[in-house]
Each structure stands twice: as structure tokens, then as C-alpha cells.
Structure 1
Amino acid sequence: MQRLNNESSTSTTIQELCEEYRAHNMITKEEYEQNRVKRGLRNADGTGVTAGLTHVCNVHGYLIADGDKIPDEGKLTYRGISVSDIVAGCEKEDRFGFEEVVWLLIFGKLPNRRQFDRICGLLYDNRELPEYFPEDLIIKTPSKDVMNKLARSVLGLYSYDDDPDDLSLENNMRQSISLIARLPAIMSYAYQVKRRHFDKESMFFHPFEQGHCTAEAILNALRPDRKFTKEEARLLDLCMVLHAEHGGGNNSTFTTRVLTSAGTDIYSAIGAAIGSLKGFKHGGANHRVRMMMDDVMEHVKDWKDEDEVGRYLEKILKGEAADHSGLIYGLGHAIYTLSDPRAVILKSKAKGLAEEKGFGDKLALYELVERLSPEAFQRVTGNSKVISANVDFYSGLIYEMLGIPEELFTPMFAVSRIAGWCAHRIEELTTGGRIMRPAYRALPQNQRYVPLSQR
């Protein structure tokens, strides 16, 4: 009884503290506009404020004509090469692409055969975690959230590095290769421990196999019988290629560059990037898409009825359904307008597997939601803004078809995007040279100090 009373008292106290905060600390949208402050480092038209230069990646989604933003088909290039061409090239040569993309993003050129074999070998050689690391940092401290465990484990690797703070190119190259190789292993361990501790299911740890690419190594680790088809591994590899990089301005990559500019170690920078990616406004969006679509499937009786689906989307936008946020997750993007090239590729590749795995009706519903959402958005808001599906809309469905657990949707994003994070960290170390320090305009109301006895 005493504990219940204490909990109730604490809850009341916290509520009072929050009310006290709200009474004196609000900043309105109008104040931002009056002071010409660009919230979220965004211009008035939603485009990002230019904060740096990079050779690593370019994201194109619109044109500017006479100062106006003109919608355009999306294009994504890694080191000047279209990601669509990379995907097509790997398909034509019947091979996996993630390892090639790792080399391309870091070094700036496509690897030749010797270099390609070298990066594949380096990633395999560095995949094993340090001795006692899984037991001490993962198994003994299980986490319900795998992203949280990824971040904590990356920070923990600092203690297993003989020279963690050396900022030389040589040392950061070594660390980058090691982290790219090890993050999938950390994810697999963290998931198995989560299953055992919180879900009360058996956990299993499979050894890595020589010759497996990263996508194959992940499926080998996650499947109890270690069996998967080449087509499944290819589709997972495709997801990793498309998630590997997305410019310097996305929140997690910018986080990497901000921390790097301060002169901190790579483990701190990548750990912070993982924390950023966890957010539902960033990498966590694919998990929110899954939750939203589960809600749609539960409440819409006829998945082919456009009127019924459209009405339910309106309820979501009004905050009356799903998570009551008023958001249709997976639709719209900060840069892309007419299309997200990653979503276009994923949708095209999903169709064959959907029929094979019995997901045809579900994929058709996703496509219907994608098509009807802009119309519903305009009816509810009166805004005719161009909206298209982004990569998060279809990636979760593909992971589901591949048997990837929902808890790993966002972690899979992380084990792919770490390639881009490391490329940007190295670029910031070698070309930045100045700590990032944007300005904030203060809005204090002058007050006279009053002695405590007179308040």
C-alpha cells in the first residue's frame, strides 16, 4: 500500500512539474517566424539549410525555377553513380552488391575484382565479436529494444579497442571496417537474447560461414535451420544497398558528422547515430508503417474497396485512427516529391516474392494506400502537396516476407546505413576541420533576482 501511495505521489509531482514547465517555456511557431529562425534547419519551402559539402552521396527530388520548388522524379547517387545502375549492374552480373557499395562509399570508386574480394574478405575476417564481448555486454544485459542494445554495444566496443581515440585516417579506417562487419553480429546476438529473456523463447547462435556475404550471414544467423534461398538473400542485399547511404543531411548522418567535428571517437559518433535512427521520424518509421498497416487491415473489411480504404485514411489523418498522430507513415519525404527511387525499386522487386509467399493481397493493399493517400491528404488538409511513398513504406513489408522479425526492421536499417555513416565520418575527419556550432537566438524576459525569503 505504501508503494502505491508513493507511486501516486510521484506521478502527481511529475504532472505538477510538467505544468510548471509549460507555463514558462513555450516558444510559438510565430516567434520562430518573427525571428527568421529556420526550425529543424529547414527553409520555408521545406528544403534543408546547406550546412556542408560532401563527395559521398547526392539526393535529388525537386527542381528550383524562379525561386519556386518544382516536383521532380527522385534520383539517388552514390559517389556520382545512380543507385539504380548499381542495382542493375549487380543483377546482370549475378552477384551481391552491399560489399561493393561499402567500398564505393568509403573510397569513391567502384572496386576492381581484387579490391572487391579484399573488402569481402575484410568484412568476414572482422565479423567475430571480441572474446567475452557477447557474454558481458549483450547476454548479461538484455534489452527489449534491439536498437538500444546496438547503441550500447557499439559504445562498449570502445573498451575492447587498444587505440580508440586515435583520429588518424589509418585508425579510423580500421575501426570503420570493424564496425561495419560487427554490427550485424551484434544485432543477431541482441535479438536472440531479447527472445530468450523477454519472449521466453529459445535462443540460438550459429557460426559464420566462409564465403557468405553480409546478407547471407544475417539470414544464416536469424533462421533456426540456417536455410534460405539465393533469391531471399538477394532481396535482403538489395534492401541493404538501398539503405546504405542517403546524403549528409539526414538526421543520423548529420549526427555522425556533428559528433565527429567535435573530435570524439568513432564509437561515440556511431552510437549517437544509432540513437538518431531509432526515432520514429527517421529510421523507426518502417516499424510505424507496419503498425499503421496492421491497424488498416484490422478495421477495413474490404481491402479492395477504394471508398472504404480512403475513408479510413481520412480518419488516420484526422487523428481518429491508428496511433492518433494524424500521420500516414511511409508517405512523403523531406527531399523526394514525385518519387523515392528506393521505394520504386523495392516495390518492383517485392511483387514476385509476394505471390510466392502469399502476400499478394497485402501488397495490393499497400499499393492502394500509396495511391489513395495524396487524395485523402488533400481532402482533409486542403493541401495539394505532392506526396509519394518513401523507402520505409515498402521495406518493412519486404522484411516481413523474408521472415525478418518486426523488432529488427529498424536495426536492419542501421546495419546497412553504417556504411554511409563511416564514409561521412572519414570525410568529416579529413576535410571538415571545424567544430559544428550553429547559433540559437535567445528569447529571455529580463527578470530581477528576488531573494528566496521574498518569493
Structure 2
Amino acid sequence: MSIGFNSNLNMGQEQKKAIKYLCEEYLKYNNIDSSLYDKFNVKRGLRNNDGTGVVAGLTHICNVHGYLISEGERVPIDGELIYRGINIKELVEGCKKENRFGYEEVVWLLLFGSLPTAAQLKGFQDTLCLFREMPSGFVDDIIIKAPSPNIMNKLARSVLALYSYDDRADDTSLENTMRQCIELIARLPSIMVSSYQVKKRAYDNESMVLHPCLPEHSTAENILSTIRADRSFTDEEAKLLDLMLMLHAEHGGGNNSSFTCRVLTSSGTDSYSAISSAICSLKGPKHGGANNKVMQMLEYIKADVKHWNNEIEVTDYLRKILQKEAGDGSGLIYGIGHAIYSKSDPRAVILKQNAFQLAKGTEYEAEFNLLETIERLAPEVFYQHKGDSKMVCANVDFYSGLVYKMLGIPPELYTPLFAVARIGGWCAHRIEELTTCNRIMRPAYKAIAQERSYIPLSER
């Protein structure tokens, strides 16, 4: 067959025909029998048969705990998220009791391994403020002149572009890497907001407003202040966003984006390449992009289920989603299930409590109740559909989208906000990988292609 890349033809139709042909050729020769994974004991997804992760390294940074192994069996427990030995619930409660912002404290804890003193915390907040300013011409040349409809892609591209503004970009010494990480943690919120404002002008035909950051503001306050045209926000709103940042800041070295960062770091590459790769990983709908997918799924359910409080109608629709007859056709109930948590996700538990307080008595209460109904019914629907008794629970993405919506944050910023929070964890993992491992990651893949002889072109 002639593939037909002819510039004189209708390129749209010819390209479609060419790609269809190439896909057919690929599928002819590239099937892998699923039984071979068991035969060769392949850990698909770097997971053991019981769902636990393959141990790939050691870390001080974070522990994610969702089950116990008792007499060889996995026993679900209430999930725990532990930053440097301290339970996230204690961190959240500590900041709440003292009525203060906690994200900067969490970043310090993740990076350095100890809780900061009052003087250290104030100094760290001041340091982040010092490093927020972008390189000269960066916003004009990298963000304004090259808008993107997708903010996650723009974050990754912008972080990668910072390489060109760094005279010591490839220096992987601790001092230089620390400087790069602090700059990235300080700058990513501004990159996100600027990218969003430019996107509004270029793609939505709306006004673009670029506010400067204010030195007296926390990370959460600056995000709300620069997103909103009038810069106004309440302390309650800022504290809730700060809570979101705290909960999303870290989730262990095995989560996909942190592991991606560690893999690239192990090769000896620069900080900008490693962090941009983590952003690209987080964009995926099976990872950070799930929070947006939950809200999209909620809109499908709101539109197609006549009575939101009718459990039979909701159950029927969830069953249709799993059968790929409703929703986005993926067969996924977004926000339900997690690789480690089975009985509960501590982040989701905390978010649910705060989401209820914010939604109670507002127009969002009905949506919250619908999400709660989905959370309650989904495990049984999964069991009926798959015949799998594995316990599943709502994960952090299930309620985070609704919280962002109630804060007036646009959907295109849900996953970027996840990245803004998680960069603290990524940087901690990059520094730990550089200073403690010093060996390139190189897992094995079993080759199953049969040996054969080369056939001359004229004889094929």
C-alpha cells in the first residue's frame, strides 16, 4: 500500500488514511498474550499480584499506609498519610488550632525533615518571597507570546524553559539544586496564574489581568489574589485553599509523578527536566487529572439522572458508566479507588468534612449530597460489575473538584493547583534521590519476540 503523503492531495483525508493503515500494521504484529505476564512473573505497573507496590527505593519523606499484611493476606485499614513521621491529620489540626497557614511549613518539613521553629518558618516564607520574581522577559517571551489552551502543558513547558535562564542549569550539587528547587516552588504559582490569564485572552476572548504577588501573602493568598480581578478573598477561602495545598503536597516516592521525577533525577539530568516530567505525569487522568474528570462525570450524572436523591437511579447510571454506556465512555467511575488506600483515603476524609461545611446551606449542597451518594453506592456497583470483593473508597480527587468549584476556581486550574502543591514533594524527592541513591534506575523488560532472519527487500 502507498501511504500517500502527497502535498498536492487533501492532506486531512490522506493523513487519516495513512494513520489508519499504520495502526492496522502495528496491531498485526504487536499483541502480547496476557498469560505471559503471569508466566514470566512480570509486575505490571510495578505492582505485585496483591496490589502492593514493588519496592524500588528507600525514603525519609513520606509514608502512605492503607493496609496490613496478616498471615499473607492484605487487610484494609483506615488510610494514613505521614509526612516525615508526622500524620497529616496532626499537621492540619495543628495549623487549624493556631489559625494559621500551613503549606509553607509542610514544604519545609518535606525538604528538611524537621518542623521549623517560628524563626525558621518566617525566614523560609521570606525566602520564598525573594525567589518569586521571574527572570527578565520570561513572562512576555515564554507565557504571553506562546499561550496554551491547557495550563498543565504550559506549566511543563515554562518550567523546562527556565533552563535557558539559568547559568548553572546543569549543576547538580546540593547547593545549586536547593536553589533551583526553592525558585521553582516559589515561581510555579505565578506561572500557573499568568498562564491562565493569558489563556483567557487568547482562547476565551476574555480580559487578561496580571497582578503582582504581594510579599505579605502566603502561597494560598497570592493564588486567590492574582486569579481574581478584584484581588478580594476571605480568610476562610484562603485557609481552605491552603488546606488543599497541604493535603496535595506529597504522597510517597511511588506515586507516578514523584517516581517519574526520581527516575529522571537518577539519570543525572537537570532540575527543570525532572520537574517538568513530573508535571506531565500528573496531567494524566489516572493521576492528578482525575479531579477534573470527577467534575465532568458529575455533570453527566446531573444531566442524565432525573432524581439525584433516588439511589436506584444513581446506581443504574453508575452501572452504565462501568459498562461504557454513559459518562465519557471510559468505563471509569472517577475518584473511586486507589492503589494503596482501600478502606479510606485520609485526604478525602478531611476534604469531605470541609466541603460539607462550605456547601451546607448553599446552592452546592445538592451536588455535595450527590457526590456522597455516589461514594456510598460505588463499591457495591463495582462488586456487582467485576465480581471483585476488593474494598474501594473515595480518593482525594473525589471531593477536591467540588471544593475548587465552591472557591470559584475555574476547572482548567484544578490539576495545575495539584502541581503547585505537589512541587514541594517533587523537590524533596529530587534532592533525596541525588544525595542518597546515586544509581540510574534501569528495570528489566522480558523480550518475547522470536529470533528470525533478515529478508532482503526484494523477497518480502
TM exceeding 0.5 = yes
Matched residues in 1 for 2:23 and 2:36: separation? 22
CA deviations on 1:284-331 (whole Å, 9 max, x unpaired) are: 111111111110011011110111111111111111100111110000
Matched, 1:52 2:57: yes
The residue aligned with 2:353 is: 348
Is residue 293 of structure 2 the alignment partner of residue 271 of structure 1?
Answer: no
Distance 2:236 2:165 in 1: 37
Contact preservation (8 Å) 1:204, 1:224: yes
1:162 is aligned, of 143, 163, 167, to 167
Does residue 402 (structure 1) correspond to residue 407 (structure 2)? The answer is yes
Partner of 1:151: 156
Taking the aligned partners of 2:366 and 2:458, their CA distance within structure 1 comes to 70
> Structure 1, unaligned stretches of length 5 or more?
none
Q: What is the aligned length? A: 454
On the 8 A contact 1:42/1:48 being kept in 2, the answer is yes
For residues 91 and 346 of structure 1, the distance between their equivalents in structure 2, rounded to whole angstroms, comes to: 14
- CA offsets 1:15-37 (integer angstroms, 9 cap, x no match): 01000001001112211111111
2:332 alignment counterpart: 327
C-alpha displacement of 1:384: 2.0
Q: Are 1:71 and 2:76 matched, yes or no?
A: yes
* Residues 396 and 409 in structure 1, CA contact (< 8 A), matched pair in contact too: yes
* Comparing 168-177 and 239-248, the one that deviates more: 168-177
Q: Cα offset for 1:357?
A: 4.3
CA distance in 1, matches of 2:301, 2:395: 18
Amino acid at match of 1:66: E
Residue of structure 1 in register with 2:105 after alignment:
100
| Equivalent position of 1:416 in the other structure | 421
What are the within-5 Å matches in structure 2 for residues 11-410 of structure 1? 11-355=16-360, 357-410=362-415
**2:8, 2:409 → 1: CA distance?**
41
In 2, Cα distance between equivalents of 1:102 and 1:115: 12
1:177, CA displacement in angstroms?
A: 0.7
CA offset digits 1:416-451 (Å, max 9, x no partner): 000000001000010011111111111111211111
Q: Deviation per CA, 1:79-138, whole angstroms, max 9, x where unpaired? A: 000000000000001100000001000000000011000111111111121111000001
User: Is residue 2:456 matched to residue 1:451?
Assistant: yes
Q: Separation in 2 of the partners of 1:356 and 1:423?
A: 40
Q: Could you tell me how far 1:154 is from its partner in structure 2?
A: 0.2
Deviation of the 1:45 alpha carbon: 1.1
State the TM-score, normalizing by the size of structure 1: 0.98
**Farther off after superposition, 416-425 or 200-209:** 200-209
Partner Cα separation in structure 2 for residue 210 and residue 447 of structure 1 = 67
8 Å CA contact 1:343, 1:391 repeated in 2: yes
Structure 2 unmatched runs, 5+:
1-6
1-structure distance, mates of 2:167, 2:115: 31
Between the aligned partners of 2:165 and 2:253, the Cα distance in structure 1 is 29
SS in 2 for 1:303: coil
The answer as to whether partners of 1:57 and 1:78 remain within 8 angstroms in 2 is: yes
Name the Cα RMSD after superposition. Answer: 1.0
Q: Letter of the aligned partner of 1:71 in structure 2?
A: P
Amino acid at match of 1:248: G
Measure how far apart 1:355 and its partner are: 2.3
Structure 1: how far apart are the matches of 2:123 and 2:9?
Answer: 61
Is the 1:100–1:110 contact (alpha carbons within 8 Å) kept by the matching residues of 2? Answer: yes
Q: What is the Cα deviation at residue 4 of structure 1?
A: 7.2
What is the percent sequence identity of the aligned residues?
60
Q: Deviations over 1:352-392 (max 9, x none)?
A: 21125421111000000000001111122222221100000
The separation in 2 between residues aligned to 1:357 and 1:170, in whole angstroms, is: 49
Q: Is the 8 A contact 1:357 1:401 kept in 2?
A: no
Q: Aligned partner of 1:313: which letter?
A: L
Greater mean deviation of Cα atoms: 126-135 or 101-110: 126-135
Q: Give me the whole-angstrom Cα distance separating, in 2, the residues matched to 1:55 and 1:212.
A: 30
**Counterpart secondary structure, 2:64:** strand
Contact 1:172 / 1:426 at 8 angstroms: preserved in 2? yes
The aligned amino acid for 1:172 is: T
Moved over 4 A (4+): none
SS in 1 for 2:126: helix
Q: Deviations over 1:247-270 (max 9, x none)?
A: 000000001101111000000000
User: 1:429 aligns to what?
Assistant: 434
**What is the CA–CA distance in structure 2 between the aligned matches of 1:4 and 1:294, rounded to whole Å?**
42
Deviates more, 1:388-397 or 1:31-40: 31-40
Separation in structure 2 between the aligned mates of residue 93 and residue 9 of structure 1, nearest angstrom: 65
- Aligned partners of 2:361, 2:219: CA distance in 1, in Å? 24
> How far 1:215 moved relative to its partner?
0.2
Matched residues in 2 for 1:362 and 1:200: separation?
A: 29
Aligned amino acid, residue 94 of structure 2: G
1: CA distance, partners of 2:174 / 2:51? 36
Whichever residue aligns with residue 156 of structure 1, its letter is: A
